Amino acid sequence: MGFWRRLAARLKGRDCFLECDGLDCGPDRRVEDADFAMALIGLGAKMAKADGVVSRSEVNAFYEVFRPPPEGRAALDRAFELAMQTTLGFEGYARRLARRFRANPAVLEDVIDGLFHVAKADGVVTQREVEFLTQVADIFGFSELEFRRIRTAHLGAADDDPYVILGIDADISDEDLKRAYRRIASQNHPDRMIARGAPPEIQRMADEKMASINSAYGRILQERGLAISAAN
């Protein structure tokens, strides 16, 4: 079960939240899942508070990404409203998610994508919001170069640098370029998002990211005089 569906089921209070993809689902796992759900809600709420003002558009964006079933909305409302009173404690939420998905960084990148969606909702991403996202990415274990790639996919680069979009160094070899592209494309392919149970809003962001990645790769190939068919 994808983690987005786990969250929805947790808010419903249904046993299906405890499905563990063939793994044991004892009491420890139930506690872990509940802790995960609250960490995800708390981090999203504190993202909305990061610039000091929580706008209606940011709240709406949160619910677009973290979609509760109708019967779970009241529980999410209470958790969200409590968490967004201050940004204090966001590091703890981020660490919980980092521990839970340390072997699955693609899920952590999904979370960052969702946080960017909240940050962009009011039409401007402030420096305080960028700092918040940077700290979350660092706790998640993303390198500075990896975070630059994610940030550029959402906000663009001042000079539209394709190397920044792919999160690679400009002096990378042609062979390493191909390997890096295949890895990044695989991790960000929309089909992977669908398999992880991401909601439609996140899936649309995946389409945009994939288009940005493909465009950047194509530009580098053109600059290097490499044929796309030969490079793939």
pLDDT for 10 equals 47
Alpha-carbon gap, residue 230 to 227, rounded angstroms: 5
pLDDT for 67 equals 67
pLDDT for 24 equals 40
Residue 102: partners with Cβ closer than 8 Å, 6 or more residues away: 141
pLDDT for 6 equals 53
Average pLDDT per consecutive 10 residues, the chain (232 residues; last block may be shorter)? 50 39 41 66 83 82 73 71 76 89 86 89 88 95 89 77 86 93 87 74 80 91 76 50
pLDDT for 221 equals 93
The two tokens of residue 225 are 């005089």
pLDDT for 56 equals 82
Residue 42: partners with Cβ closer than 8 Å, 6 or more residues away: 79, 83, 89, 90, 93
Q: What residue spans define the domains of the chain?
A: 1-142, 155-232
For residue 82, the tally of other CB atoms under 10 A from its CB is 12
Candidates 3.40.50.620, 1.10.287.110, 2.170.190.11, 3.50.50.60; CATH matching 155-232: 1.10.287.110
pLDDT for 190 equals 80
Alpha-carbon gap, residue 190 to 76, rounded angstroms: 27
Alpha-carbon gap, residue 160 to 210, rounded angstroms: 15
Report the chain's terminal Cα–Cα distance, integer Å: 32
| pLDDT tens, residue by residue, 105-134 | 888 898 898 899 888 988 888 889 999 999
